[in-house]
Chain A
Amino acid sequence: MIKREILEEIKQVSAKIFQTNYKSNNSRTGHKFLQRKLQGPRLASYYPSKVPVSKMREIIGLPIPNSQHTLRMEILEEKVRKGKGPVKRGSK
């Protein structure tokens, strides 16, 4: 069994050598909150970034076709050909 005073001295000297912090009373310094790694950037980038197509058109400057729009236009054309297009206002 080592004496308490000798143990304390050893701890102080080793803290000096390894440049760590030594607490004589085992007191809580709140240091753990400083030691915590910052998680902000990691948590904030959880949702994958998706640039919307309208923004891409602005960024690139080239005309990007809107496939949903063209598909809708094609379907509408077929319906109009069959006579099933949108009804005019006021007609039965």
Chain B
Amino acid sequence: MQFVGRLKHKAYRDFLCRNLFAKHEVERQSNLYIYRNPELPLRVRLEAKNRIDSLPENSHPTKIKNRCVATGRGRGVFRAFQLARFAFRLKARANVLPGVRKASW
């Protein structure tokens, strides 16, 4: 696992979920294929389903959430900046984000 600095608590949990997902992704996809293939015998398919269910909870892809990298906020996060709306505002006003300026037209 990479060094990630001082993440907020929920962002750290999301970080762990992402790593677990990456660790078990191949196993999950291959078992999904077996489970969803009607040409294979039923026993094999059920065994594949059991394997998927026995994977750790936090390795599920739906547990991953794009959190703010600065504050750990789960909502209002812009994908382009990986920042929640207030953190984005602070950084934008500090001229740290390239190409971002106050809108007026």
Contacts and interface: CB of A to CB of B under 8 A. Distances in A.
Contacts of A49: 2-5
Contacts, number: 71
B25 A40 contact: yes
A66 B61 CA distance: 39
Interface in A50-69: 50-52, 55
Interface in A17-72: 27-31, 33-34, 36, 38-41, 43-52, 55
Interface residues of A, number: 23
Contacts of B66: 46
B18 A43 contact: yes
B53 interface: no
B85 to A, nearest CB: 18
A44 B19 contact: yes
Interface size range on B against A: 20 to 34
B84 to A, nearest CB: 14
Interface in A66-88: none
B37 interface: yes
B35 interface: yes
A31 B21 CA distance: 21
Nearest to A55: B3
Interface of B: 2-7, 11, 15, 18-19, 21-23, 25-26, 29-30, 32-39, 61, 64, 66, 69, 82
11 contacts: A29-B38, A30-B32, A38-B26, A39-B25, A39-B61, A40-B23, A43-B18, A44-B19, A47-B4, A47-B69, A52-B6
Interface of A: 27-31, 33-34, 36, 38-41, 43-52, 55
